[in-house]
């Protein structure tokens, strides 16, 4: 069973938030495309595992674990009674090979080696095991989810660690005879005790380089007409409440300025003061935790997922959003 929700990477939200307020650089576009592709591969992995079934397993996804004062990210950890399996998920396309201890695509050696990543992830979990009373084996495989991917190797050990898209269902079915019990539950708690937040957040954006103000959540137009309780998009006709716009802006602020405090003034500045400061204040109180430090008051969002909270708002708001299909 899945024990946690797989969120989109923070860095992906970061690039998306930038893209609606200025043009991305070539490198930023490249990074965002890679993040989108990687997340799509992870979602496909989850979908196929869901189809095969995982009721007899504990599955932890998209984790950052602090082991020996070093943080490492895991795409998926499958926990059973006597062993755990690390799955490094890659959504690569093209022809790859592994030879002479190098990872190549089109005769060009690649900087990022998934086999080294897998080995490092397994080693850290072995280290975590050694400091606990619980015994379990640590295995691992690299899951290649893209149909348009081929891989050859002069190393049989490397070849055996790779699971291609065509074999993925069979691979998941191999866990059917496994089971979870008290030992597996304790191992899950051991892993959970090492979970930390992603320590490598992007650098805050220079706000002077951004377009400030509110934009339509449907077509990303800044051409909005302000009504008494809602904004109407002059380009696509969609209608969204002040609260919808403010919640979106709070999430934008979170991603654009990681590790920077959000205050009423800083949020108003991002909004270009297009909503009354009292309305902003009430929205901050409703949707955020309040932090006081002397005379300064700052706010942190109560939620991690904008889309989920938007659904709740739209189901309860008095002045309804109306989204026009385009």
- Domains of the chain (ranges; CATH) run 10-192 (3.40.1350), 207-316 (1.10.10)
Number of neighbours of residue 34 by Cβ within 10 angstroms: 13
Say what the pLDDT of residue 30 is: 95
Say what the pLDDT of residue 225 is: 97
Q: State in Å, rounded, how far the first CA of the chain is from the last one.
A: 38
Q: How far is CA 181 from the centre of its chain?
A: 29
Q: How far is CA 15 from the centre of its chain?
A: 12
Say what the pLDDT of residue 105 is: 87
DSSP state of 211: P
Q: Angle at the Cα of 262 (from 259 to 263), degrees rounded to 5?
A: 150
Say what the pLDDT of residue 220 is: 96
3-state secondary structure of 144: strand
Task: For tokens 């009373």, name the residue.
Answer: 133
Give CA–CA dist 278/305, Å, rounded: 25
The two beta strands, 224-226 and 230-233, are antiparallel
Say what the pLDDT of residue 101 is: 79
CB-based contact 82:137 (threshold 8 Å): yes
**Cross-strand pairs, 253:** none
**Half-sphere exposure of residue 153: CA atoms within 13 angstroms, side-chain side:** 14
Q: How far is CA 147 from the centre of its chain?
A: 23
Tokens of 48: 């196929």
Number of neighbours of residue 76 by Cβ within 10 angstroms: 22
Give CA–CA dist 170/49, Å, rounded: 10
**Half-sphere exposure of residue 217: CA atoms within 13 angstroms, side-chain side:** 21
* Mean pLDDT by groups of 10 residues along the chain of 326 residues: 93 96 96 96 97 95 94 96 95 89 84 90 94 90 95 82 95 93 92 92 93 96 96 96 96 94 96 96 96 92 92 90 88
CB-based contact 46:62 (threshold 8 Å): no
Give CA–CA dist 258/293, Å, rounded: 19
Where residue 237 falls (left for φ over 0; alpha for ψ -120 to 50; beta otherwise) is left
DSSP state of 133: S
Say what the pLDDT of residue 158 is: 80
- Rounded to two decimals, the pTM is 0.91
């Amino acid at each position: 069973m899945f024990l946690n929700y797989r969120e989109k990477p923070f860095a992906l939200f970061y690039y998306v938030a930038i893209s609606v307020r200025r043009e991305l650089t070539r490198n930023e576009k490249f990074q965002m495309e890679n993040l989108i592709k990687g997340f799509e591969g992870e979602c496909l992995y989850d979908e196929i595992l869901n189809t095969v079934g995982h009721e007899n397993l504990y599955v932890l996804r998209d984790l950052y674990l602090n082991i020996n004062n070093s943080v490492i990210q895991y795409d998926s950890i499958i926990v059973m009674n006597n062993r755990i399996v690390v799955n490094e998920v890659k959504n690569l396309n093209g022809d790859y090979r592994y030879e002479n201890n190098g990872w190549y695509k089109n005769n060009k050696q690649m900087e990022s080696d998934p086999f080294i990543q897998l080995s490092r992830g397994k080693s850290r979990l072995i280290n975590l095991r050694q400091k606990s009373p619980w015994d379990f084996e640590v295995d691992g495989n690299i899951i290649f989810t893209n149909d348009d991917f081929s891989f050859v190797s002069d190393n049989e050990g490397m070849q055996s660690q790779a699971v291609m898209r065509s074999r993925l269902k069979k691979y998941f079915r191999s866990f059917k005879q496994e089971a979870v019990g008290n030992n597996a539950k304790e191992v899950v708690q051991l892993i959970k005790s090492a979970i930390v937040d992603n320590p490598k957040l992007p650098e805050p954006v220079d706000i002077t380089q951004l377009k400030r103000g509110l934009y339509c959540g449907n077509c990303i137009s800044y051409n909005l007409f302000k009504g008494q309780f809602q904004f109407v998009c002059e380009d696509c006709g969609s209608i969204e409440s002040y609260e919808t716009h403010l919640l979106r802006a709070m999430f934008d602020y979170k991603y654009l300025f990681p590790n920077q405090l959000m205050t009423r003034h800083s949020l108003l500045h991002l909004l270009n003061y297009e909503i009354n400061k009292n309305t902003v204040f009430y929205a901050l109180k409703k949707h955020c935790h309040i932090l006081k430090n002397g005379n300064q008051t700052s706010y942190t969002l109560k939620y991690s997922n904008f889309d989920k909270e938007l659904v709740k708002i739209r189901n309860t708001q008095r002045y309804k959003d109306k989204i026009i299909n385009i």
